[in-house]
Amino acid sequence: MQEYKVESFNLDHTKVVAPYIRVADRKEWQGVTVTKFDIRFTQPNKEFLDPAAIHSLEHLLAEELRHQVDNIIDLSPMGCRTGFYLTVFGKHDPEWAEHTLRKALEEALLSREIPAKNETQCGNAALHNLEGARKAIKEFIAHSRTKLLDPFGNGS
């Protein structure tokens, strides 16, 4: 494969076993460390989150993660709709991300409404699916910590 600047373009997507959490990138700049996680909900090229469900999950998670910790820079859905990138301040490991994400997802599951689901606060307020988001959350958190921390499915 040709070598790219984007870390995930160099990842062999046929070798990963979703769901999983892994460090996609870590950068240090002027003494500040930033960690970017690859949070994969569905198996690449096999299964995809529904566009409305991933959008609702983004809203829920973007808010809940910030209730858990104060070092979130960004949470973005992947264009392929198989998961999210989570970027945070600090040198964090997947164990930290799993713990933080699980708590945020458990809280999101208690939510009966999608935050900022309106035309003032969202760019596509009609494209939402709370039930789809809840289903994706339940499927993700049903997996053990050991499983989620094993992106290539060699362990456990």
Residues that bind Zn ion (CB under 5 A): 122
CB of 28 or CB of 119, closer to Zn ion: 119
Q: In 2-35, which positions are buried (b, 16+ CB within 10 angstroms) versus exposed (e)? A: eeeeeeeeebeeeebebbbbbbbeeeeeeeeebb
22, HSE (Cβ side, Cα atoms, 13 Å):
16
Question: CB 88 → Zn ion: shortest distance, Å?
Answer: 21
Question: CB 79 → Zn ion: shortest distance, Å?
Answer: 15
CB of 31 or CB of 123, closer to Zn ion: 123
- Look at the block and give the residue holding tokens 């970027």: 87
Question: CB 111 → Zn ion: shortest distance, Å?
Answer: 15
CB of 14 or CB of 120, closer to Zn ion: 120
CB of 24 or CB of 122, closer to Zn ion: 122
- Count helices and strands in the chain by DSSP H and E runs: 4, 4
Question: CB 127 → Zn ion: shortest distance, Å?
Answer: 8
H or E segment to which residue 36 belongs: strand 32-40
